[in-house]
Amino acid sequence: MRGGAGGPDSPRTLLDPDAIEDLALGATILGTGGGGDPYLGKLMALQAVAERGPVRVLRVEDLPDDGLVLPVAMMGAPTVLVEKVPSGKEIETVVRTVERRLGRPAVALMSAEAGGLNSTIPVVAAAQLSLPLLDADGMGRAFPEIPMCSMSLAGVSATPRAGADDKGNLVLLETVDNVWTERLSRTATVEMGGSSIIALYPMSAEEARHSVIPGTMSRAIEIGRALRRSRQEGRDAFSALLDVTRGRRVFQGKVIDVLRRTTGGFARGVATIDGLGGDAGSVLRVEFQNEHLVALRDGVPVATVPDLITVLDSDSCAPITTEGIRYGQRVTVVAIPCAPVWRSEAGLRVVGPRAFGYDFDYRPVEEVEADGAPHRD
């Protein structure tokens, strides 16, 4: 992020091409395997900025009091997003639809989640609509379902929610709760071909100040910059990543099997990794629903949601998404502490292992590492 006086936290900071490159890389790390293809998202954002100019970034505290904040995102299975590219018209359609429904314009757009595509789609939207972008998101990472965000935890309604596809279809939802928003949105997205552009969780500035996770974009850019500079300077990229994220190495090995299927609007599956080096003789299973959910070493959980589980190429330290993991890849699995809100009792009810059907409780990854052994029920 460059261009503004007052440093990277200034409300006058601009997202230029260099910052977008770092954002796409860092957000893919935070996306835990989901959030969409980073290359596609980066290209879309770079084109939008080239055509419309850099995007201004606002801090949460700098929002105007009477402003409407509107998150935008792409919804659907990552396996579909690789081949089903947005036309570009959907973004303005969904934003203007929610504005008309509420009778007031948005003063800032926002990323709903961190992820390679879902952190850059809002950049495209902000450039197209000449609006600033809020330095925040609703997850601090990526989760697969609409209610799994900090705004929902704070009691903010996800509707009115607009969704549009590349064919020109538009769906406006008003639901009784955010669980119904997910159910109806998922059904509509499946019928739209597996992916759609959505605008949801419209908020006042006051609601945003008390419900979003601030600083996510800055954090993604910081992560991307740290990796880029470590490579340029010939330093170890993994050490740089662990330093900037406070992450832990969980496992290193070779991918020996990938089971992946697209069902119900999600990419679900498991990657099996045979240990190498110090992990030889062990097997790690990484299970995912769009995003990585749990990492099981010899059947025992060593990292789980809501902490971030990121799979990286062992040579380049490049993040590998759930749609990109393949047999034969040599990978390193890293776990990163999640945003504090998800470690609360209320947060774990929504995004802890049991929320995804697992029969074990969450333990922070740093506690598992300190004990030297994961938790068994």
Q: What is the DSSP string of 80-100?
A: HHTT----SSHHHHHHHHHHH
pLDDT of residue 375: 40
Per-residue pLDDT tens for 167-198? 999 999 999 999 999 999 999 999 998 889 99
As a whole number of angstroms, the distance between CA 265 and CA 186 comes to 6
Q: In the chain, what percentage of residues exceed pLDDT 70?
A: 92
Q: Which class would CATH give 14-217? A: alpha beta
Q: Calculate the average pLDDT of the chain.
A: 91
Q: Which residues contact 311 (CB under 8 A, 6 or more apart)?
A: 33, 271, 286, 292, 319, 320, 325, 331, 332, 333
> Which residue reads 């009792």 in tokens?
345
pLDDT of residue 11: 43
Closest C-alpha among 328, 308, 312, 330 to residue 320:
312
DSSP string, 161-204: EEEE-TTS-EEEE--SSHHHHHHHHHHHHHHTTSEEEEE---EE
pLDDT of residue 83: 63
Average pLDDT over residues 263-278: 91
- Quote the distance between the C-alpha of residue 366 and its chain's center: 22
pLDDT of residue 35: 77
Q: In the chain, what percentage of residues exceed pLDDT 90?
A: 79
pLDDT above 70 for 121: yes
As a whole number of angstroms, the distance between CA 38 and CA 130 comes to 23
Q: Which of 28-37, 99-108, 254-263 has the lowest mean pLDDT?
A: 28-37
Per-residue pLDDT tens for 224-242? 999 999 999 999 999 999 9
Q: Which two tokens stand for residue 346?
A: 């209320």
Q: How far is CA 94 from CA 86, 179, 263, 298, in A?
A: 13, 20, 25, 46
* Strand intervals (E) in 213-338: 213-214, 248-263, 266-275, 283-289, 291-297, 300-304, 308-313, 330-336
Q: Which two tokens stand for residue 237?
A: 């990229």
Sign of CA dihedral 302, 304, 306, 311: positive
Confidence of residue 10 (pLDDT cuts 50, 70, 90): very low
| Cis-peptide into 306, omega within 30 deg | yes
Q: Which residues contact 372 (CB under 8 A, 6 or more apart)?
A: none
Q: Where are the domains of the chain?
A: 14-217, 236-371
> Which residue reads 């020109």 in tokens?
168
> Which residue reads 């008003």 in tokens?
174
Q: Hey, what CATH topology would domain 236-371 get?
A: CV3147-like (2.40.390)
Average pLDDT over residues 294-314: 97
pLDDT above 50 for 340: yes
pLDDT of residue 150: 98
Q: Which residues contact 121 (CB under 8 A, 6 or more apart)?
A: 36, 41, 44, 45, 72, 73, 74, 91, 111, 197
Confidence of residue 372 (pLDDT cuts 50, 70, 90): low
pLDDT of residue 323: 87
Number of Cβ within a 10 Å radius of residue 130:
10
Confidence of residue 328 (pLDDT cuts 50, 70, 90): very high
pLDDT of residue 98: 98
Looking at the DSSP bridge assignments, the partners of residue 57 are 133
pLDDT above 60 for 280: yes
Greater model confidence, 69 or 5: 69
Average pLDDT over residues 107-121: 92
